[in-house]
Amino acid sequence: MTKFVRVIDTERCFGCRSCVAACAVENHFTPDAPWNVMMEYETGTYPNVARNFVTMNCQHCEEPPCKAACDAAGFKAISKNEFGVVLIDYEKCKGCKYCVATCPYGVPQFNDKVAQLYPGKEKTAYETVEKRHPTHAKRANVVEKCTFCWHKLEKAVQSGQIGLIGKVPEFTPTCDLVCPVGARIFGDIDDPNSTVSQYIARKRATQIKKEFGTKPQVYYVLKGGEY
């Protein structure tokens, strides 16, 4: 069995937003629909102050309510593959936003328009590349979200190198790759010897919003409460 999870260690995170920036670049960010978001907040009263940095992208739940809602609505645009990656098929999505309504984490982003990065100027070569992975073929009136960089993981699967997922840059989700302090790791939780398995145990990582029973595949080492 292989179940890919991400661990985000908010004790190590210092809020640089490199993962947010890198995700945007990797995944053809369209304005107002970020796939990875930083929530930075303060607690306490001067001079006893603290600040937390928590990023969130899709939790890739084992029981995704977004998929349940989409299936119930009859569009069946959301799927969960054998590696646990939850994906949206932009062709099937009708932009009803039921997934937006049901997700406890606020993950799915509705794209009301696909805007170019420099409005009023010529499109950059980065934007005019024709052959895009289906998850990067953005369109208006459709919902999009983090894909665990499936376009990268898929290559590992296709080339029979599943064992390298999370271990080499080519097969690691980009947000997990760029962290300057190693606050994010990605790997197989079904392997008890994997870095993620050991990290979750050693640093008492947990999932957030467990009360929804969605069984997210993203674990957090948390500082402070109210998730």
List Cα–Cα distances, 9 to 40, 41, 55, 196, 220, in angstroms: 14, 16, 10, 11, 6
Least distance between other proteins and beta carbon 94 (Å):
7
Least distance between other proteins and beta carbon 161 (Å):
7
Nearer to other proteins, 192 or 225 (CB): 225
Least distance between other proteins and beta carbon 61 (Å):
9
Least distance between other proteins and beta carbon 144 (Å):
12
Nearer to other proteins, 31 or 134 (CB): 31
Helix (H, G, I), strand (E, B) or coil at 4: strand
Least distance between other proteins and beta carbon 163 (Å):
10
- CA–CA separation, 15 vs 51, rounded Å? 10
* Phi-psi domain of 17 (left: phi exceeds 0; alpha: psi -120 through 50; beta: other): left
Nearer to other proteins, 4 or 166 (CB): 166
Nearer to other proteins, 3 or 215 (CB): 215
Count Cα neighbours of 54 within 13 Å in the Cβ-side half-sphere: 19
Least distance between other proteins and beta carbon 95 (Å):
8
- CA–CA separation, 69 vs 78, rounded Å? 9
- CA–CA separation, 128 vs 37, rounded Å? 25
- CA–CA separation, 87 vs 144, rounded Å? 9
Task: Give yes or no for a contact between 191 and 165, defined as CB atoms under 8 angstroms apart.
Answer: no
